[in-house]
Every structure is written in C-alpha cells, then in structure tokens.
Structure 1
Amino acid sequence: MTHLARSERDAFCDSLLTAGPHAPTLCSPWDAAELAAHVVVRDRRPDLAPGIWVPPLAHRLEEGQAAYAAKPFPELVDLVRSGPPVWSPVRLAPVDDVVNLVELFIHHEDVLRGDEQRGPRRVVADRESRALWRSLSRLARVFFRRSPVGVVLRTPDGRTLHARSTTELGTVVLEGRPEELLLTAYGRRRVAEIEVTGSKDAVDALWAAPLGLA
C-alpha cells in the first residue's frame, strides 16, 4: 500500500529544492526556507508548539523556527525529508497519513502556487485525491464553521458534501477537484480552481469569513 504522506513529503522537498530558499509562498511573509523551517519545527519540536496559541511563548517558537531557517538550504530540506524522529508514532505510515498528509499537501501547494496564480501546477494522483476528499469530509464542518452562509462542496464526478447548513443568507456551492476544495477550505481560494454558485451577497459573505482551522 502506498504511503501517501511519505510520497507527498518527498515531492514537497523536491519542489523546495527547485524553488530555492527565497521563493515566495502563500504563507506570506514566509519564503520557502521559513516555510520549510515551520515544517521541521512541527515534526521535531513539540516543545515549541505552545507558542502558536500562547502569546508569551511565541518568541521561543519564532526563535526556534528562525534557527532552522538559517541553516544551509539543502540541509534544511533534508530535515524536512527525514520527517519526525525515529521514536515518534507518526513514523508509522497509517498515523503519518492521518496526521501529515493534508499539512504536507497544503504546504507543497504553498510553494508551487507562491506566485499567487490560480490553478494546479501538477497532477495529483487519484489515490491521493480520494484521500484528501476523505480528510475534507471529516473536517469540512470545522473549516467552514464560521461561515455565515450554507456551504456545499461538490466534485466534478458528483460527490457532494454539506459543509455548513443553509442560513437566511442562503447557500454557496463550491465545485472542483478535492484538492482545490481543500485549498479553499484552508483559506487559499484565491489560487484554487473552483466554480462558485450562489447569490452575490452570499458569496461575498462567505469570502469575508475566516476559514480553516485557526
């Protein structure tokens, strides 16, 4: 069975090396090196993670990430490629796929679409696309929980997911491949190739809402 997160990690690392350390990303103001450092911290430094949510600890997170970003870029990318430490349960393929596939996919696209142009830059294998749809199915209500309008996600082959119940403002239908819908759910709709159906007021309200996990 294919280890999807491992394959996505390797592809991400190859794209990092092609782009170079100073390439722009969708996680502005981070460049490719800073984004890679973020992934390394996530993989290897759980002690710094509280800085994401606790402002007084944010400086430790920023300092740790900056230290990794300052490493020679090939060395930094090797750290990304090697993944979590050997003692981590995330080294197990099934756990890795659940914990890291979506994160690695999103950050890979952050590099590939760092020029802010809309649309895919690669062909995502059907098996990975199906896995991303399953992840989206589990998390869609969380991603769109702050939407003031109903949200329906639909793929070109007819799969449908009700991410948010309709409201007095109506419902917006978003149609695209699973990976494009996932990018939209993560707040990257500006570069996602999707078709949008709904009233202007409903669509404007959806795009004004904060989407994603944060």
Structure 2
Amino acid sequence: MPRYARSERRALVELMSTLGPDAPTVNEGWSVRDLAAHLVVRERRPDAAAGIALPPLRDHGERVRREVAAGDWAGLLDQLRHPPVWSPVSNPLADELANTLEFFIHHEDVRRAQPGWQPRELPAGLDRTLWRRSSTLARLALRRFPARVLVRAPGQGEITAGRGGASLLLEGAPGELALFLSGRQRVTRVQLTGESGLTDRLRDARLGF
C-alpha cells in the first residue's frame, strides 16, 4: 500500500534542507524554519498544537512554535524527518489519514514560493486520496459561503457545497483544489466561473478549517 504521507514528508524535508531555513513559503510571514517548527510542534507538543484550532490556546501555541523555531536547524529537520511513534497524528495507525493532506499542502507551500515552480504530476493514487480529502474540506471551508459551489475534479468526481444563492463552478486537479480550499487561492491553478463578484469574493475568502 502506498504511503503518501511518508513520501510527502521525505520530499518536504529534502526540499527544506536544500533551500535552507530562511527561504520563503507561501504562508504569510513564515520562512521555511517557521513552517518546519509548526510541523514539529503539531507532532510533538499536543498542548501547543491545540492552539491551531482553539483560539484561547493560540498565544501559547505560537510561543512554543517560536521557541522551537529558534533551535538548531539540523536538529529541527531531524525531528521532522523522524516523527515520534507516540504522536496522536504521526503514529503508524494515524499517519496516512492525518498527514497526507497536511504534508502535501506544506510541501507545496515551500515549492510554490520559489521562482519558476510548476504543478507536479502526481501518482493516480495520491490524486484519488487528495480528492477524498478535498471533498471533505470543501464542505467545511465553504459551509458559510453565500452561493452554491460545484467543486469538480475531472476524472474523480464532484460535490456541491456552500449556502444557496447563485452558483459557481470550481474545477481543477485534486491537489489544486486541496490548496485552494485550504486558503492558498493565489498560488493555485483552477478554473473558477460564475458571477464575477462572487468569484472574486471566493478567491479572496479566508478558507480552510
């Protein structure tokens, strides 16, 4: 069985190592070092990782992330390269479910911040996996958007999300849709058609979980 979470992790760590800690990412204000620290905290500090989703813990989580980011660069990459087996998100039972989308997105966060990037040709199995994750993500990310959005990945399927009103079509490869729906609209290659005011609003919306 392919282990896409592992392969995306390996590729991300290799790219981070090549580019160095100060290279940019598409995450506003974050360098490669900052992103690596985020991933290490997510896996190794559940108390701080909770701040990603829970506003009352956000300051604590950000403080811990900055402390981790200030550590030795080689050590930080080593921690990311070898996740702990006890982690709620990277143990052998949870890894593929919890980390495939996470590491694909963050791999692209680094790739697409570099000059001359191009979309990758992904394995068919990874495309299918990303479409399943994108289907779920669309329902969450678009749940309050004031229009029906038909989200379509040619050859994979389509779903409808959003709340009534006019209709839009968001179409692209599964990986592109995953990035768009996670808030990376400006670096994705998708087709978005419909009323111009709504398409502009969707391109600028704060999407993601």
How many pairs does the alignment contain?
A: 208
Specify whether residues 154 and 90 from structure 1 end up closer, same or farther in structure 2 by C-alpha distance, changes over 3 A only: same
2:106 paired residue number: 107
Q: Does 1:211 align with 2:207?
A: yes
Q: What root-mean-square deviation, in Å, do the aligned CA atoms of Structure 1 and Structure 2 show?
A: 2.1
Is the contact between residue 119 and residue 193 of structure 1 (CA under 8 Å) also seen in structure 2?
no
Specify whether residues 196 and 89 from structure 1 end up closer, same or farther in structure 2 by C-alpha distance, changes over 3 A only: closer
Residue of 140, 160, 173 corresponding to 2:169: 173
1:20 paired residue number: 20
Specify whether residues 105 and 206 from structure 1 end up closer, same or farther in structure 2 by C-alpha distance, changes over 3 A only: same
Is the contact between residue 149 and residue 170 of structure 2 (CA under 8 Å) also seen in structure 1?
yes
Between 1:93-102 and 1:186-195, the stretch displaced more is 93-102
Q: How far apart are the structure 1 equivalents of 2:196 and 2:117?
A: 21
1:146 paired residue number: 144
2:178 paired residue number: 182
1:11 partner SS? helix
Q: How far apart are the structure 1 equivalents of 2:203 and 2:137?
A: 18
Q: Kindly provide the CA deviation profile for residues 76-118 of structure 1, in whole angstroms up to 9, marking residues without a partner as x.
A: 11111112x2223544445211111111111111111114878
Segments of structure 2 that go 5 or more residues without pairing to the other structure are none
2:73 paired residue number: 73
Segments of structure 1 that go 5 or more residues without pairing to the other structure are none
Taking structure 1 as the reference length, the TM-score comes to 0.88
Letter of the 1:134 counterpart: R
Specify whether residues 93 and 129 from structure 1 end up closer, same or farther in structure 2 by C-alpha distance, changes over 3 A only: farther
Specify whether residues 209 and 118 from structure 1 end up closer, same or farther in structure 2 by C-alpha distance, changes over 3 A only: farther
Letter of the 2:135 counterpart: S
Shift of 1:162: 1.3
1:4 paired residue number: 4
